[in-house]
Amino acid sequence: MFPRPVDQASPLVRTAYQVALPIALILWLLPLLGVALTSVRPSSDLAAGNYFGWPSSFAISNYAEVFQNSPIGRYIFNSFKVTIPTVIGTLVLSCMTGFALGVYRFRSNILIFFLFVAGNFVPFQILMVPVRDLTFNMGLYNTTAGLAMFHIAFQTGFCTLFMRNFIAALPRELIEAARVEGVAEWKIFWYIVLPLMRPAIAALSVLVFTFIWNDFFWATVLTTSASTQPVTAGLSSLNGQWIAAWHLVSAGSIIAAMPPVLMFFLMQKHFIAGLTLGAVK
Amino acid sequence: MSVTSSETRQRSWWRSNQQWLTPWLFLTPGMIMFALYVVWPIFESFRISFYDWDGLGEAQWLGWANYQELFKDRAFKTSLKNNVIWLVLYMLAVPMGLGIAIFLNQTVRGIRIYKSLFFFPFVISQVVVGLMFSWFYAPNFGLLYKLTEFLTGKGIAVLADPDLVTYGIIAAGLWPQIAYCMILYLTGLNNVAPDQIEAARLDGAKGFKMLWYVILPQLRPATFIAVVVTVIGALRSFDLVSIMTNGGPFGSSRVLSYYMYEQALSEYGYRMGYGAAIAVILFLIMMVFISGFIWKMVRDERGVN
């Protein structure tokens, strides 16, 4: 193990490490802690200049105020309306493309695979004008469906990379044996490969959920009104309205961050497995 | 199972052809979506960049005029310069992520919780990160302002200072990016061959020498991915600029991705053609990196098969 484990070091080093850990963590999360504390600070504290001291009382009412005086509930609902169909659509498409590219050997296989991979790295701006136009012409501009459609297509690139590598690493004998038995190809997909892909599906659903929930650029390009905007775009426009009302901005930020944070803590293992794919040989 | 004869014939045709047909049937839906939303728009953007177009009316052919205008455009130069600063400074996320990963790669009690809390910034939306740092930098009462006021007697309002603003935004962007690199390296460190470390220890290697000659070569896959995601992150830096400054003050924190959006969909009228030209330049910059990455990946792929 590198570095040398501290429990092999002197008691002094061990204690120093135990003390350094929480201090480093607090410094690291200082911006987050500041905002969390501000979100429960009564507005009277801010008016009195108490920005960093302990709040004079815990104003959970800030959260209630955000929900009552802004469409944040609606924004959250829109975010789910974009995110959930995107996760499902992307997984369906990429399980199929991953299967095709991971199991079959045909001439253009590598070419198609790298097209999907390269698409991932493309800057969004090169897609912006045509995608906006396309969405407009399909009558989906300023709808959650239009936003989800784009996300499905784009995320399919990333997920194909992941799925294809996952399937290519499965034991080929399984598939060969089934073929010898005369099992139809689609049945191989459905009954043999798909059940084995559960860990990949779990990892990708958490990752895609987080990516799409946190997307801001496409939300601002493809949606414009409070009835369709997801929470990232919504929060940005609320920030414009709530100038200097930092207790509300903070509470809104915490609310917007909640779903992916919960998702991360509940499915941490899958999340990290997905993110670090390829980081080890 | 009993089937009629015509079904049998169909089946046997399918039987003999399914081997090569199946992959195409499975690829078709994904490829159509990808072609429609990702591949075709790239070519279309190239085409639009030669036109003057407001997004609604008739597009006017301009030839290279948009590009000629770009070279005279000072806002474009500022954006390009800022993109270079982003690229260079963003790379700090890689060694810093490695540093934190080494710090946290221990087995003391509760370390797992520490690791996930250190990773936390990456899970939060950049919009929220931007708001957090705006609050941190806020003039008069922001923590950083107070701190600089306490130390030097004069507070610094980072986001209002044209010379500092880009660095302030990059610092905000580094926060989640370091967390991402850290998790890549933590996974990498977990898989370093223990026998090699022991052997190196017996040879008397430790500290920095051990890291440089024994550990880092084994972490190469993690480093590769960390560099790739950091380059992409630096060139995609739209969210933070938009949330924290809207490109200001006086356009001094613009980057290409933001400037493109501003031109194409600005309140002063839509200039889709000019925006597309900026996007093409950004794309070409990215292409330099993409081709490098893909070239390496293809080489590895060939090596495996």
Side chain identity at residue A38, one-letter code: T
Place of tokens 């990016």: B177
Residues of chain B above pLDDT 90, percent: 62
> Residues A61-78: pLDDT tens digits?
999 999 998 999 999 999
pLDDT at A126 (0 to 100)? 95
Q: What is the pLDDT of residues A173-198, one digit of tens each?
A: 989 999 899 888 899 999 999 999 99
In chain B, what are the domain boundaries?
A: 5-48, 70-304
Q: Of B129, B160, B133, B103, which Cα lies nearest the Cα of B233? A: B129
Q: How far is A100 from chain B (nearest CA, A)?
A: 4
Q: Is B18 in contact with A100 (Cβ distance < 8 A)?
A: no
Q: How far apart are CA B31 and CA B36, in angstroms?
A: 8
Nearest to A216 among B36, B125, B180 (CB): B125
- Would you say A41 and A59 are in contact if contact means Cβ atoms under 8 Å apart? yes
Q: Does A6 contact B106 at a Cβ distance shorter than 8 Å?
A: yes
| B81, B83, B85, B88: CA torsion to nearest 10 | -140
Residue of B nearest to A94 (CA): B30
Classify domain B70-304 by CATH number: 1.10.3720.10
> Rounded mean pLDDT of B118-127?
93
* d(CA B27, nearest CA chain A) in Å: 5
pLDDT at A60: 87
Tokens of A50: 């108490």
Q: Is the pLDDT of residue B2 over 60?
A: no
CB-CB: which of A5, A236, A261 is closest to B106? A5
pTM, two decimals, is 0.92
For residue B305, pLDDT over 60 is answered with no
- Please provide the average confidence, as pLDDT, over all residues in chain A: 91
* DSSP structure class, residue A49: T
C-alpha span between A211 and A152 (Å, rounded): 12
Distance CA B31, CA B109 (A): 48
Spatial separation of the C-alpha atoms in residues B155 and B147, rounded to whole Å: 7
Q: Which of residues 150-189 of B touch A (CB under 8 A)?
A: 175, 180, 183-185, 187-189
Q: How far is B41 from chain A (nearest CA, A)?
A: 5
A275:B294 CB<8 A = no
- Facing residue for B127 by CB, picked from A186, A235, A265: A235
CA neighbor of A264 nearest in space, from A198, A188, A211? A211
pLDDT score recorded for residue B294: 83
Going by C-alpha positions, the residue among A150, A151, A147 that lies closest to residue A228 is A147
Class of domain A67-275: mainly alpha
- Retrieve residue A179's tokens: 């073929």
Residue of B20, B39, B103 lying closest to A106 (CB–CB): B20
Task: Look at the alpha carbons of B269, B273, B279, B285 in this order and tell me if their dihedral is positive or negative.
Answer: negative
Average confidence score pLDDT of chain B: 90
Torsion of CA A143, A145, A252, A72, to 10 degrees: 60
Q: In Å, how far are A6, A248, B95 from B101, measured between CA atoms?
A: 15, 35, 10
* B24, B27, B39, B114, best to mutate vs chain A, most A CBs in 10 Å: B27
Confidence of residue B304 (pLDDT cuts 50, 70, 90): low
**Confidence check: pLDDT of A135 > 70:** yes
Q: Do A100 and B215 touch (CB under 8 A)?
A: no
Percent of chain A past pLDDT 70, that is, above it, reads 99
Q: What is the pLDDT of residues A204-234, one digit of tens each?
A: 999 999 999 999 999 999 999 999 999 999 9
- Indicate whether B1 pLDDT > 70: no
**DSSP letters for B24-87:** HHHHHHHHHHHIIIIIHHHHHHHHHTTEE--SSS--EE-TTHHHHHHHH-HHHHHHHHHHHHHH
Residue B216 contacts A, CB cutoff 8 Å: no
What is the mean pLDDT of the segment spanning A11-30? 93
Mean local confidence (pLDDT), B132-161: 87
The pLDDT tens digits for B71-96 are 999 999 999 999 999 999 999 999 99
Q: Are B22 and A125 in contact (CB < 8 Å)? A: no
Taking only the tens place, the pLDDT of each residue in A103-127 is 998 889 989 998 998 888 899 999 9
Is pLDDT larger for residue A47 or for residue B163?
B163
Q: How far apart are the first and last CA of chain A?
A: 17
* Cα–Cα distances in angstroms (integers) from residue A30 to residues A25, B108, B120, in the given order: 8, 23, 12
Decide if B218 contacts B196 (C-beta within 8 A).
yes
On whether ipTM exceeds 0.95, the answer is no
The tokens for A192 are 């043999």
pLDDT digits (tens, 9 = 90+) for B240-293: 999 999 998 999 999 999 999 999 987 767 899 999 999 999 999 999 988 888
Quote the CA–CA distance of A59 and B159 in Å, as a whole number: 29
| pLDDT band, residue B154 (cuts 50/70/90) | confident
Return the residue matching tokens 């001094």: B252
Q: Quote the tokens at residue B152.
A: 């030097």
Length of chain A: 281
What gap in Å lies between CA A128 and CA A110, rounded to an integer?
A: 27
Mutation site, A276, A277, A281, interface B, largest B CB count within 10 A: A276
Q: B205 is written with which tokens?
A: 């290697």
The tokens describing B163, both together, are 């010379």
In 3D space, the residue among B256, B74, B23 whose CA is nearest the CA of residue A97 turns out to be B23
Average pLDDT (A42-52) is 78
Are B127 and B173 in contact, with CB atoms under 8 Å apart?
Answer: no
Q: What are phi and psi of A50, to 5 degrees?
A: -85, 85
Q: A87 pLDDT exceeds 90?
A: yes
